[in-house]
Amino acid sequence: MAHLNGRDVYDWLPVIARRKRTGQPEEALDIAVACINAFPGRIPVRFLTQATILQHSLALFDDEITLLRRALRDSYDLADELELHKRLAKAQEAAAKRDGKDAQVFRARWRELVDTQKSLPKPRPRFLPTAAELAEEEFVAVDFETANRRGALSACQIALTKVRDGRVVDQFDTLLRPPAGFEHFEFSWLHGITFEDVVDAPRWPEAAPEVARFVADLPTYAHNAGFDQGVWAALDQHFHTASLPEKFYCTVQLSRRTAPGLDNHKLPTVTDFYVPGFELNHHRADSDAEACALIVAAMQRDDAVAQVLG
């Protein structure tokens, strides 16, 4: 695991994003490059993307070319490799134009790579289940709440709801005390949780074993799985725990396909559509997790959903 200044390098991604948002691209780039240099082997695409976007915006085309060539000495999956080669062609085109040279060969290379990308079969969205996966009779739904914009490691509540044969059969809910440096509460207005509420709450390493026992190997759903799965993965990585489910699905992605006519696909809207009468207490993790679970159960009873998923 790579570290920078005593912190897991992935903990620096929110810092990079914050520097970008606040108009400090040079500082953001310095951090991104330092993170990249902390990796002994292949550079993760997330860090390459952050660094090369910043280098391009700052017109540091030579640095961008050097970084991409360095990265491409390693192997990536086809989609990522094509994207990196596209970035390289764009940087080479920009550098050639800057130097008053003919950039057509790099432009042509970029277009060729775009055409290759278009010819690839589109991958199934990461968190979208197949009809067979959705039909599994027992599953779990999860919701995390976080304390602040620093994100995953500020998780202050997790709630889980277990469903079997269409019925809620078990629930788990606990507050969490974030680690030092992540204990500032700026979202109390949203979820009602304050620092005083979590002073005596378990930290993630204490809660993770019970969470893992509750979930076991069941498929797990969240409404906006990218967020909840990301929080869960970051907690496991930071604390060296192993509780993240392998099968993770998203009711936002599901509802966009099964109910495309809704005004939006936020949890209150999707809950009203699939579970009319459920009294959602939004941004209370236990209520959000239960609503998510009931949405999945309702989808399981709808034959039209299976036809949409294929």
CATH of the domain at 38: 1.25.40.10
124 is a domain residue: no
d(CA 233, CA 267): 22
Q: Which pLDDT does position 2 carry in this prediction?
A: 75
**74 and 195 inside one domain:** no
Q: Which pLDDT does position 122 carry in this prediction?
A: 77
Residue at which a domain ends, from 95, 119, 143: 119
Identity at 269, one-letter amino acid code: T
Q: Are 47 and 37 in contact (CB under 8 A)?
A: no
144 is a domain residue: yes
**110 and 246 inside one domain:** no
Q: Are 241 and 226 in contact (CB under 8 A)?
A: no
126 is a domain residue: no
Q: pLDDT tens-digit profile of 47-60?
A: 999 999 999 999 99
Domain containing residue 163: CATH number: 3.30.420.10
For residue 71, what are the domain limits?
3-119
279 is a domain residue: yes
Q: pLDDT tens-digit profile of 142-182?
A: 999 999 988 789 999 999 999 999 999 999 999 999 999 99
**267 and 212 inside one domain:** yes
**pLDDT above 90 for 103:** yes
Where do we find the tokens 């949405």? 295
Q: pLDDT tens-digit profile of 72-83?
A: 999 998 889 999
54 is a domain residue: yes
Q: Which residues share a beta bridge with 8?
A: 3
What average pLDDT score do residues 185-189 get? 94
Q: Which pLDDT does position 1 carry in this prediction?
A: 55
What average pLDDT score do residues 227-253 get? 94
Share of the chain above pLDDT 70, in %: 100
**261 and 155 inside one domain:** yes
**151 and 297 inside one domain:** yes
47 is a domain residue: yes
Q: pLDDT tens-digit profile of 15-68?
A: 898 899 899 999 999 999 999 999 888 899 989 999 999 999 999 999 999 999
Q: Is the dihedral of CA 9, 15, 21, 25 positive or negative?
A: negative
pTM for the predicted model, two decimal places? 0.66
Per DSSP, the three-state class of 230 is helix
**63 and 209 inside one domain:** no
125 is a domain residue: no
